[in-house]
Amino acid sequence: MPEDAPKAAELALGNPSHVSTVSRRLQHLPLFQQRQDPEFLKIFEIVDAMPLDDTHCHLVTDRDAITTPKRFLERISLAGFPFPNYFPEGVYERWLNGDEPTKYALNKEYDIQSKVDGMTSHLSQSVFIRFMTKEMAQFLGCEPSFEAVIEARNDRGSSYWSYVNNLFRDVNYENIIHDTGYVEGVGQAEIEAFEKAIQPCRSHRIARIEAIQDELFGLDIAFEEFEARFTKRLLEILDGDANYGKRTIGMKSYLLPDIGLIKPLYDRTFAAHSWNALRKSFCDRSRMDREDAANITKDLCRYTFTLSLEECLKRDIPMQIHTGDGEAPGVMLRNQDPFYLEEVVRFDKDNIMRMPKIVPLHAGYPSVGKAAWLSHLYPNCYFEVSIMTPFVHQSLYDRYKQVLEAVPISKILFASDNFHVPELFWLAGRWGKRYLSQALTDYVVGGSLTLEEATEAARMILYKNNRVLYNLE
Ligand SMILES: [Zn+2]
């Protein structure tokens, strides 16, 4: 969008003197969607002005500054996110970045274009995309059609970072904690560019256990050497600045989709067996059944997970664990049940439950009730709302009530799981505040919370709990 942007976009970027916050946020919705009762309007006005902390998300790079409707669908959708995994390794990237003859040859061999067309056509038919289109059209000051939204977005591509910054300021992010285990191959410079672009929002980082493993699993070294190097790297990340030039404020694990139930493993002899079996499997791993392949490294990964969780426990910092959700076709969906985390939430050793701080991610979606119940039962288990926020869109109203029926308010953490494109940060903030306000209004109207209790609950969920858990000032 050019600098002399239409007035509607100026309003959307936030100038409260033009129009009240409430009407600004709600004016584009059809009347039947607008909740008009004074209880809601009062709560929403307060909640909408609150800061936001994002407890789990991923960086944005400038590679999506200019896009196409199809590419945007792929980049924003969880179902489209792993397109490359539908083809042999490296093929999709060669097709995407190739010249016409390369594309032609790869289409002939793998039928890529028609498969991508088929997938994006279904992706475009979701209520999520239709609703997002209307919201973005209001923000960008354009017609509410998907093509017009992408065109208006591309107009802003030349000053992409200021567009990203505007999205952040519009919903008032003050802190984000981003997981550097998924950075699409970029390095420290790109990470720092992103962190600078979103200022004054402050950035904090989480490191992934699998990122350390990826550096080491392929090396031709003995188990003892692997163990020493793993521990050294882990300590550098936790206590030094080895997370791309910064300290980490917690760890993240992506183990659940691989193995299901995670039982801590303290016996290094099992891990050593697993390490040796992995070395033997190298030559035929690509042809192996994926579950068999995961079983080979199961004990090794249980062991590295246990080593990492011990270090988190010593420092009293949280471990985020991927739960529910799932980037098919690269994961085993059946393994992602929140109850499979019970043993690591307990973290028993010598008959003592040690109860480290555990943050199951993604609301356990679609098993939201199980993740909520786990958090209800174990005092050290938290609840994080990403993926569900923003992907269930209008149903967040019901989902937040489902969460609040079981989870103590003091454990609920706002998050977006933003990946690839910055609009997920913005949608999560916009819809998170709106539908949380609706859910809390029901409690006020029903008499279970006073107005003051409801607004304090919103403060805790949207930013205060995050600051307490991660010791942010
Ligand atoms: Zn994530």
pLDDT digits (tens, 9 = 90+) for 263-292: 999 999 999 999 999 999 998 888 899 999
Once rounded to an integer, what is the mean pLDDT over residues 171-179? 98
Residue 151 Cα to ligand 1 middle (Å): 28
Residue 151 lies in a domain: no
Residue 103 lies in a domain: no
Overall number of domains in the chain: 1
Quote the domain boundaries for residue 252.
Answer: 7-61+159-469
Say yes or no to pLDDT of 4 above 90. Answer: no
Residue 77 lies in a domain: no
Label residue 29 by pLDDT band (50, 70, 90). Answer: low
Q: How far apart are the first and last CA of the chain?
A: 36
Residue 137 lies in a domain: no
Residue 67 Cα to ligand 1 middle (Å): 22
Residue 88 lies in a domain: no
68-107: b (≥16 Cβ within 10 Å) or e: ebbbbbbbbbbebbbbeebbeeeebeebbeeeeeebeebe
Residue 33 Cα to ligand 1 middle (Å): 31
pLDDT of residue 407: 98
Residue 100 lies in a domain: no
Question: Tokens standing for 9?
Answer: 């976009």
Residue 414 Cα to ligand 1 middle (Å): 13
Residue 96 lies in a domain: no
The predicted-structure confidence for 338-397, as pLDDT tens digits, reads as follows 999 999 999 999 999 999 999 999 999 999 999 999 999 999 999 999 999 999 999 999
Residue 375 Cα to ligand 1 middle (Å): 19
pLDDT of residue 326: 81
The predicted-structure confidence for 37-59, as pLDDT tens digits, reads as follows 899 999 999 999 999 999 999 99
Say yes or no to pLDDT of 95 above 60. Answer: yes
Say yes or no to pLDDT of 26 above 80. Answer: no
Residue 386 Cα to ligand 1 middle (Å): 8
Residue 417 Cα to ligand 1 middle (Å): 5
Label residue 5 by pLDDT band (50, 70, 90). Answer: very low
Residue 419 Cα to ligand 1 middle (Å): 7
pLDDT of residue 1: 38
pLDDT of residue 18: 36
Residue 179 Cα to ligand 1 middle (Å): 7
Between these two residues, 450 and 325, which has the higher pLDDT value? 450
Residue 406 Cα to ligand 1 middle (Å): 24
pLDDT of residue 22: 57
Once rounded to an integer, what is the mean pLDDT over residues 314-321? 98
Residue 332 belongs to a domain with what CATH number?
Answer: 3.20.20.140
pLDDT of residue 19: 42
Residue 391 Cα to ligand 1 middle (Å): 13
Residue 453 Cα to ligand 1 middle (Å): 31
Q: Which residues surround ligand 1, an ion (CB under 5 A)?
A: 417
pTM recorded for the entire structure: 0.91
Residue 390 Cα to ligand 1 middle (Å): 13
